Structure 1
Amino acid sequence: MPPSRRPRIDPIVRVRTGCWACRRRKKKCDEAKPVCGGCVRNKLTCQWPAAVPGGSKAPNPPTEDDPQHQHQAQVDAPEQGTHRASSGSTESRSTSPSSPEEILRNASPEETALERAVSIPLASAFSRASSPGNIQELGGSPPMTVANVLPRNMSMFPGHGPDSYQLLSHYLATTADCMANGSTPVNPFLVQIVPLAFSSDLLLQLVLTQSAAHRAFRSQKDSDEVAQRHYTKALQLFRKGVTEFIDGKESNPLMLTVGALVMCFTETAKGDMNGTIFDHLTAANSLLIRLLAQSDTAVPKDLKDFVIEYYTYTAAVSMISIDARVSTQLLLDFELEQRARQLLQSEYVGNLCGCWLELLLLIPCIFDLGRQWLMHDDQPTMPTADDIAMFGSLQVQILRWAPYASVPPEVFLAGQIFQQAMLLYLYTSLGGFSRTENGMYQGLIETAITDGMSYLGQLSATARINSGLCWPIAVVGSCLSNPGHQESLRRRLTTMVNTFGLGNMQRTLLLLENMWEMPLDEAGPWNICRAMQRNQIWISFA
């Protein structure tokens, strides 16, 4: 048992001159300005008492008995403990940056994105709250600085481990940018998803999981303990949420719907090859119908529009992974398709569908046309009159489509790439992928390949818009027989993987490598699903 401490008899001698840092630390200050020697030596922020008009003495620092001093001690104590634990230094920081700019300057690079998104707005809020006009309303005394009321190590994730801060920082700085293609200046993965995440434990866990999966793939870690732990927890929470929704314990489908879509893109980030994304899509489908029935008051229109775009994009580009010979599943039913078409009336441009939403909505129509042809046990040598009529109607719609003139050049170019891929998807739907000289639609196929590769050649592989181009790259790539074209796509996808670190890009390249080894009559977009089955690569191109 440690000996009892001898009671203090002599009065405490306080430092009454010098900077505030030395006064708090009870150290002698050499009073060198603007930064004293003690603050230089201990890497502290050197602050001086403001000069008092009339030559009177500057006010003394608060005493230990002063409530303001006790409040400051409570704020400083956790920060000092954190500093000692991280650096092992005998000296602790006793002051914090007093302005948002200083907070950013002292933050580590990994913290900076999160500080901008959270700490700085909070610091501004505290500054406004402590203004003279608001102090009386709040019933408090004016704080000395922002640092007095905003501790640097405040807990933003109750119940989460220390890695959560880093994962959210990675999401804000990197993952959100890679998820969106940059078609609009506002990134919905930040302005829509993040506020929802801070109001839902489930959605926050799913965002952290997506960030962990993305970070692990970028780091080329096949087995990342943090990512696996968050992924397991996310699945548990999501299943629990779905169960409660089914049992009637939860009536609001918003968080579950957005959560299912976030899980879809988590599979995109990690490069899942087991087809798990299709389970999430199925869940999102039934939840979204319930969500859209709610009024714009309950769910803001811009959020509802983004959710519609999110699901429409993911479902449309995933349909090519389904074998039309044995499945009638469309993923995009009539009601959801009609809600997406309503967005076209305002020339909707999104961070997933760019300006080509109208083209994406034609994918189920082409899929249904090809399915009817491929499901015949004894395929006829020529399409029926109804087949030809539908084929002609779809071809006209694709050819007359044009990107909006108002979009940026890269978005315009990406729209043209999608257009050529759509033509290839249509031209090969009626058994047209025949490599004989007089094969059905062979001239149209070759023209679409040439134009598609030309547009891809004009677009830098590092442009953000590439994050949404895996589907057209896969469609065009599945039709290639020219080794030069194959090598061009190989280099492009490799650069995209290194730039964005998204697993579906690497899986797209892996799938195309396998398809380029197949006979020509077994290639083409309608055989992508069979190549997946043969090589056990079940992916979505979202």
Structure 2
Amino acid sequence: MDSILALSGGHLCHKVPGADLTSASLIHYNLALNQLKYQLTRIAAGNPADPVRLLLTILVLSITESVSGNSKGATFHHLRASSHFVPLVLALDPTHGDQEVCAFLLETYAYMVSIVNITVNTQPTFPSLVLDPYIASLERFQGCKSFGTMFGYARDLLSLVPTICTLGYNRILEESAGECSFESLACYKAIQSKIENWQEPSPRENSGIDTKDLTNAAKVYKEAVLIFLHTAFYASNVTDPELLALVDKSICATLVLTDFDTDSPVLSVMLWPCMIIGSCLRQPVQREYLRYKMLEAPFNMTVVRSSVQLLDWLWEDSASDAFGPYGLGSVMRKYGVIHSMS
């Protein structure tokens, strides 16, 4: 309950700024952390604990940091903590508790871990990549009504993001040594093939969301993940004509897909592709269009405005590497922020 109240306060503080409301929200946040610390101490002493309850609480705190626009990477810390309880939840007997709750929590965790990274341009002061081996484990929950709540039709696409992050990080290391390994090139081509050959799954009945919106959202994710892959492989070589041509092709493919109604539920999961695609926009009219669409969305949250601010910094930067996810990493270092989303 304290974590839920902290999350509610995070939303409300953006709409109704005030010291009293901020203080109340922080009190509940600190109470939740203190209770978590107590539970973890009990676990360390050998006492049993409910991993579902703990995972739920930590994920709520992670979302609280994200929607509140935390710029110091707190979301990364919570997701690392969550990762310790995910295998415990997966190991629970199927008859234990509510499988719908387990399915929703595990999918939420997998989604958050996938989209928390908007750049692979890591440095010693930047949080290490949060990589996830559990997305494939969601298959067992396909019969649950909540299945697909976070991923929609894009689960197979987003499952590639952690691998792309690893590839991008390796490419940065290789680039500093003046080389490009056969392994990296083979990995790049294999992932590219998977993305380009991806097809949306058959519509699920009773999803409560327009299947056209789900399909278009997944197609936007397809192009965003493809851009993320291309820019990860080219590393700091962001002005390479081949890279720019590949990115522009994906951008053109997404512009006709982004005209969702302002009340469409899929808008709640479109921030990550907006950041990846937006980081590669070079035309002022395209930038202004995306900026308008992001601020027009009905989600009155600090994270949306801080995301737009990050894109503004990138677009205004005259540095040669101020382009794409790599450029987002450079701009974050320049302004001393660690932008993360969930």
Q: Residues 282 and 322 of structure 1: is their aligned pair in 2 closer, same or farther, counting only changes over 3 Å?
A: farther
1:445 aligns with 2:247: yes
Give the aligned partner of residue 51 of structure 1. Answer: none
Give the aligned partner of residue 150 of structure 2. Answer: 352
Deviation (angstroms), 1:470: 0.9
Count of aligned pairs: 333
Q: Following superposition of structure 1 onto structure 2, how do residues 515-534 of structure 1 map, counting pairs within 5 Å? A: 515-518=314-317, 519-534=319-334
Deviation (angstroms), 1:390: 1.4
Give the aligned partner of residue 431 of structure 1. Answer: 234
1:260 aligns with 2:38: no
Q: Distance in 2 between matches of 1:206 and 1:289?
A: 22
Q: Following superposition of structure 1 onto structure 2, how do residues 226-265 of structure 1 map, counting pairs within 5 Å? A: 226-265=24-63
Give the aligned partner of residue 14 of structure 2. Answer: 217
Q: Distance in 2 between matches of 1:297 and 1:276?
A: 34
Q: Which protein shows a greater Rg?
A: 1
Give the aligned partner of residue 294 of structure 2. Answer: 493
Q: Residues 272 and 358 of structure 1: is their aligned pair in 2 closer, same or farther, counting only changes over 3 Å?
A: same
Q: Following superposition of structure 1 onto structure 2, how do residues 60-79 of structure 1 map, counting pairs within 5 Å? A: none
Give the aligned partner of residue 301 of structure 2. Answer: 502
* 8 Å contact kept, 2:279–2:311: yes
Query: Residue type of the partner of 1:445?
Result: V
Percent sequence identity is: 22
CA deviations 1:180-238 (Å, max 9, x no partner) are xxxxxxxxxxxxxxxxxxxxxxxx22112211221222224476332232222222222
* 8 Å contact kept, 2:238–2:323: no
Give the aligned partner of residue 396 of structure 1. Answer: 193
Query: Residue type of the partner of 1:282?
Result: R
Q: Distance in 2 between matches of 1:346 and 1:230?
A: 32
* 8 Å contact kept, 2:175–2:235: no
Q: Distance in 2 between matches of 1:353 and 1:474?
A: 17
Q: Following superposition of structure 1 onto structure 2, how do residues 84-163 of structure 1 map, counting pairs within 5 Å? A: none
Deviation (angstroms), 1:244: 2.3
Give the aligned partner of residue 274 of structure 2. Answer: 473
* 8 Å contact kept, 1:391–1:426: yes
Q: Distance in 1 between matches of 2:303 and 2:152?
A: 19
* 8 Å contact kept, 1:461–1:492: no
TM-score by length of 1: 0.57
Structure 2: state its 5+ residue gaps.
205-210
Give the aligned partner of residue 218 of structure 2. Answer: 415
1:459 aligns with 2:256: no
Deviation (angstroms), 1:316: 0.9
Q: Distance in 2 between matches of 1:351 and 1:505?
A: 21
Query: Residue type of the partner of 2:95?
Result: T
CA deviations 1:285-342 (Å, max 9, x no partner) are 01222222221122433222212111111111113355446589442343x2331355
Q: Distance in 2 between matches of 1:533 and 1:264?
A: 22
Q: Distance in 2 between matches of 1:322 and 1:257?
A: 26
Q: Distance in 2 between matches of 1:391 and 1:252?
A: 40
Q: Distance in 2 between matches of 1:465 and 1:221?
A: 31
Q: Distance in 1 between matches of 2:176 and 2:86?
A: 39
Instruction: Indicate the larger mover: 340-349 or 253-262.
Output: 340-349
Q: Distance in 2 between matches of 1:442 and 1:269?
A: 32
Q: Residues 432 and 209 of structure 1: is their aligned pair in 2 closer, same or farther, counting only changes over 3 Å?
A: closer
* 8 Å contact kept, 1:206–1:262: yes
Q: Residues 257 and 420 of structure 1: is their aligned pair in 2 closer, same or farther, counting only changes over 3 Å?
A: same
3-state SS of paired residue (1:236): helix
Instruction: Indicate the larger mover: 504-513 or 405-414.
Output: 405-414
Q: Distance in 2 between matches of 1:453 and 1:312?
A: 27
Give the aligned partner of residue 78 of structure 2. Answer: 280
Q: Distance in 2 between matches of 1:344 and 1:357?
A: 12
Q: Distance in 1 between matches of 2:143 and 2:160?
A: 16
Q: Residues 320 and 342 of structure 1: is their aligned pair in 2 closer, same or farther, counting only changes over 3 Å?
A: farther
* 8 Å contact kept, 1:432–1:440: no
CA deviations 1:23-68 (Å, max 9, x no partner) are xxxxxxxxxxxxxxxxxxxxxxxxxxxxxxxxxxxxxxxxxxxxxx
Q: Residues 275 and 465 of structure 1: is their aligned pair in 2 closer, same or farther, counting only changes over 3 Å?
A: same
1:361 aligns with 2:165: no
Instruction: Indicate the larger mover: 522-531 or 341-350.
Output: 341-350
Give the aligned partner of residue 207 of structure 2. Answer: none
Q: Residues 258 and 347 of structure 1: is their aligned pair in 2 closer, same or farther, counting only changes over 3 Å?
A: closer
Q: Distance in 2 between matches of 1:304 and 1:318?
A: 21
Give the aligned partner of residue 4 of structure 2. Answer: 207
CA deviations 1:437-464 (Å, max 9, x no partner) are x6233322111112223322x2234432
Give the aligned partner of residue 95 of structure 2. Answer: 297
Q: Distance in 2 between matches of 1:447 and 1:261?
A: 36
* 8 Å contact kept, 1:433–1:524: no
Instruction: Indicate the larger mover: 221-230 or 323-332.
Output: 323-332
**Greater length-normalized contact order (CA 8 Å, ≥ 6 residues apart):** 2
3-state SS of paired residue (1:273): coil
Q: Distance in 1 between matches of 2:313 and 2:157?
A: 28
TM-score by length of 2: 0.88
Query: Residue type of the partner of 1:540?
Result: S
Q: Following superposition of structure 1 onto structure 2, how do residues 295-334 of structure 1 map, counting pairs within 5 Å? A: 295-321=93-119, 323-324=121-122, 329-334=128-133
The alignment yields a C-alpha RMSD, in angstroms, of 2.6
CA deviations 1:356-410 (Å, max 9, x no partner) are 11111100111111111101363536x3332222111111111121223416211
Q: Residues 346 and 324 of structure 1: is their aligned pair in 2 closer, same or farther, counting only changes over 3 Å?
A: farther
Q: Distance in 1 between matches of 2:98 and 2:143?
A: 19
Q: Residues 413 and 288 of structure 1: is their aligned pair in 2 closer, same or farther, counting only changes over 3 Å?
A: same
Structure 1: state its 5+ residue gaps.
1-203
